[in-house]
A and B are shown apart, each in its own frame.
Chain A
Amino acid sequence: MKQNTNLVLCVDDELVGLQVRKILLERSGYTVLTAPDGPSGLEIFSVEPVEVVVLDYSMPGMHGGEVAARMRQMKPQVPILLLSAYVDLLPEVTSLVNLYMTKGEGAPVLLEKLGSLLHPVDASQQ
């Protein structure tokens, strides 16, 4: 499980959820950076060589859609996975990101989607 060392940035205001997600991803071999809100997430995103972003949609102040838009402006090549507690997100938000999923779908789904973002060819072959 140590084969992935890709740098992942997790942004979520739910601290317990963020902490658990960090442990989960680290166990799966990712290097994980966390941010509790949009602005600090953007700051880390701008300075660190982040390879993929796991972004929560619902956050006070700056929601995930806004954060994603700014990240696209800075580094459009970095894939973004948007997590949401809501079932239906607006199309203008989902069109900004590479993939999105509803919270509670489970860890395997998250890991699978994250993997497909980092290794699109492998994912398609599987």
Chain B
Amino acid sequence: MNLSQFNNILRQVFLLPVVALLVVAGALYLQIRGANATVNLIQDSDTRISQATLVSKLIVDEESGLRGYETTGDLRFLQPFSEAKSHVQAEIQSLDNMGGSDPDQKKDIEDLRSEHQTWQDAFALPVIAQVRGGGNTDDVDLNLHGRELMDEVRHDLTDIIQKAESSRTRRIARWHRQVHNMLLFLLGLALGIGVLIGLFTRNRLHAVSAAYRSSLEILGRRAEELFQSEQQLRTTLDSIGDGVITCDAAGHIQMMNPIARELTGWGQADATGQPLEKVFCIVNEISREPMETPVSKVKRLDTIVGMGNHAMLIRRDGTELNVADSGAPIRDQRGETIGIVLVFRDITMERKTQDALIANEKLAVAGRLAATIAHEIHNPLDSVSNLLYLMRNGASAEESVQFMEMAQQELTRVTQISRAMLGLYRESKSPVVVDLKEMLQEILLLMERRLADTEVKVTADLPSSVTVAAFPAELRQVFTNLITNAAEAAGRNGEVRVSVTPQTAGAEGSGLKIQAGATVTIADNGPGIPEEVRPQLFQPFFTTKGEHGTGLGLWVSRGIINKHGGTISVSSDTSKAAHGTVVSVFLATNPTINAGVD
């Protein structure tokens, strides 16, 4: 139920009683009007009765006045008669004029009038005339006749009064009935409307109550869901394998999950409200300089900042851990930063594993060169030892000179190989100037045997010497790895082209600054790398060589090139016409070495 439905119900519940009361008032009005009409009729009856009584009194006055005059002959007695006579017709007329009389009553009045007239004309006036003339009025018949006439008049009057009274009685009874009916009707109406209002209100209130109950249920469910979801979030945060710290916008700690507490060595109670730098104190593992925490970086850049490299977390007890961390702003609905969340994990083991893997790959590169090394050392050694045997067993002076020359030649070869090999292993603390042409030639020399064995044709396009600042052992490892890959991809009778292109500093059309340096390109005409595996090329342990590969070559190579501030990219074509793979490595002449990135 929405708010407008609820308002509608309120309106209905308010309006219905008003309408019902109006109906009752209307009915009451009609009833009262009916009762009033009846009261009016009763009053009419009363008036009629009193008028009839008045007429009756006048007639009695007439009769008694006449009788007095008849007895005494004195005119003074005739006075009432004369007065009544002058009024009586008028009063009868006014009686006749009264409303509400039925034909029967009219006839009665007509009878009264005519009989009174008859009495007056046929008895009263002759008697008066006779008395005035001094005649005798003792005649019994005459008087009897007068009395009969008067009796009829009286009879009529009585009729009229009786009828009026009975009419009055009827009307009163009707009024009583009406009042009674009205009471019953009102009672019934009130009861009906009451029940109606009651039922209607009950029905509406039921709807409201149902809606209220369902709202309450929904609220309850929401609250439960909210609680559950919060609980779940809390559990998730507690169970998560990484350390999580949330800070307010000012960088003060609000919450730490158990891993964060364990890694930092701080308890939640101690850490809450502390500035993050105090609890999460990180330094660069190589330079030991304090590092910017992800939180201040987030505050500065207002964006998600990624895992930093070489961060060393100093725990509360002073012990140290390698950590990788990232931070992200917590934004409210308006997009304003209200806090910062920091996620970090212990990568000490990971770092050790990584170091072991890198060392392993270095060995693997050397291992892959074992054929060359064995061949290149054993072959000259074999020749030299044979030559020595020949010389010992009696060679002429001339022959000896020739043999020694040959031995010298062979030993020079061994020395060269040994130097090239040492180059693969000699570590230098800081970058030195490396001639790429020389280095590539040395590498190709080391690999010569291997390449010849697999009948891969190598073309080197090394026009002039190009120097870059680098760690030579590491670069050697990269190029050995890349040339090995190319040779393996090219396969029997395949071709590998190695070239160096110097690049002068300048600006691209797009305004990108280009560093001075050189691009080393190693291309093969092998089958190419299928598009679906290309994204995985630089992933550790990804190999297409089955058991023969460590899956670390390109991963380590990229690490080394990144450390040198260079780039490595692979483009490949699997089409029939132009299949092959090209790996390009750009190295700057004076790079910014990212120390420790590997």
Q: Do the beta carbons of B393 and A14 come within 8 Å of each other?
A: no
Q: Which of B255-263, B277-285, B376-384 contacts A (4 or more CB under 8 A)?
A: B376-384
Residues of B close to A63: CB separation below 8 A: 453
Question: Given A16-B406, A108-B389, A103–B382 Cβ distance below 8 Å?
Answer: yes
Q: Give complex CA distance A102, B374 in Å.
A: 10
Residues of B close to A60: CB separation below 8 A: 452-453, 455
For residue A20, CB closer than 8 A to chain B, the reply is yes
Interface size class of B (residues with CB under 8 A): 20 to 34
Which B residues fall within an 8 A CB radius of A? Answer: 371, 374-375, 377-383, 385-387, 389-390, 393, 403, 406, 409-410, 449, 452-453, 455
Q: Give complex CA distance A119, B381 in Å.
A: 28
For B453, give its contact among A17, A58, A104, A110 (CB under 8 Å).
A58
Q: Do the beta carbons of B387 and A14 come within 8 Å of each other?
A: no
Q: Do the beta carbons of B379 and A21 come within 8 Å of each other?
A: no
Q: Give complex CA distance A36, B393 in Å.
A: 27
Question: Given A58-B449, A60-B453, A103-B379, A24–B389 Cβ distance below 8 Å?
Answer: yes
Question: What are some 18 contacts across the A-B interface (CB < 8 A)?
Answer: A13-B452, A14-B379, A16-B410, A17-B380, A20-B383, A20-B386, A20-B387, A20-B406, A27-B390, A59-B453, A60-B453, A85-B374, A85-B375, A86-B374, A86-B375, A87-B374, A103-B379, A104-B382
Q: Give complex CA distance A50, B453 in Å.
A: 26
Report the minimum CB–CB distance from B103 to chain A (whole Å).
152
Question: Given A16-B406, A86-B371, A24–B455 Cβ distance below 8 Å?
Answer: no
Q: Do the beta carbons of B374 and A20 come within 8 Å of each other?
A: no
Q: Do the beta carbons of B452 and A104 come within 8 Å of each other?
A: no
| Known contacts A103-B378, A107-B386, then 6 further A-B pairs from the complex at CB < 8 Å, ordered by chain A residue | A17-B382, A20-B406, A23-B390, A86-B375, A106-B389, A110-B386
Q: Do the beta carbons of B390 and A20 come within 8 Å of each other?
A: yes
Interface size class of A (residues with CB under 8 A): 20 to 34
Q: Do the beta carbons of B385 and A106 come within 8 Å of each other?
A: yes
Q: Do the beta carbons of B386 and A21 come within 8 Å of each other?
A: yes
Question: Which chain B residue shows the least CB distance to A28?
Answer: B393
For residue A61, CB closer than 8 A to chain B, the reply is yes
Residues of A close to B390: CB separation below 8 A: 20, 23-24, 27, 107
Question: Given A16-B409, A20-B386, A104–B381 Cβ distance below 8 Å?
Answer: yes
Q: Give complex CA distance A102, B207 in Å.
A: 102
Residues of B close to A61: CB separation below 8 A: 455
Question: Which chain A residue shows the least CB distance to B382?
Answer: A103
Residues of A close to B455: CB separation below 8 A: 60-61
Residues of A close to B375: CB separation below 8 A: 58, 85-86
Closest 7 CB pairs of A and B: A107-B389, A103-B382, A85-B378, A104-B381, A60-B452, A85-B375, A103-B378
Q: Do the beta carbons of A103 and B452 come within 8 Å of each other?
A: no
Q: Do the beta carbons of A17 and B389 come within 8 Å of each other?
A: no
Residues of B close to A19: CB separation below 8 A: 406
Residues in A43-100 with C-beta less than 8 Å from chain B: 58-61, 63, 83, 85-87
Residues of B close to A16: CB separation below 8 A: 380, 383, 406, 409-410
Question: Which chain A residue shows the least CB distance to B394?
Answer: A27
Q: Give complex CA distance A21, B403 in Å.
A: 12
Question: Which chain B residue shows the least CB distance to A25?
Answer: B386
Which of B378, B382, B386, B455 has most A Cβ within 10 Å? B382
Residues of B close to A86: CB separation below 8 A: 371, 374-375
Question: Which chain B residue shows the least CB distance to A106?
Answer: B385
Report the minimum CB–CB distance from A80 to chain B (whole Å).
18
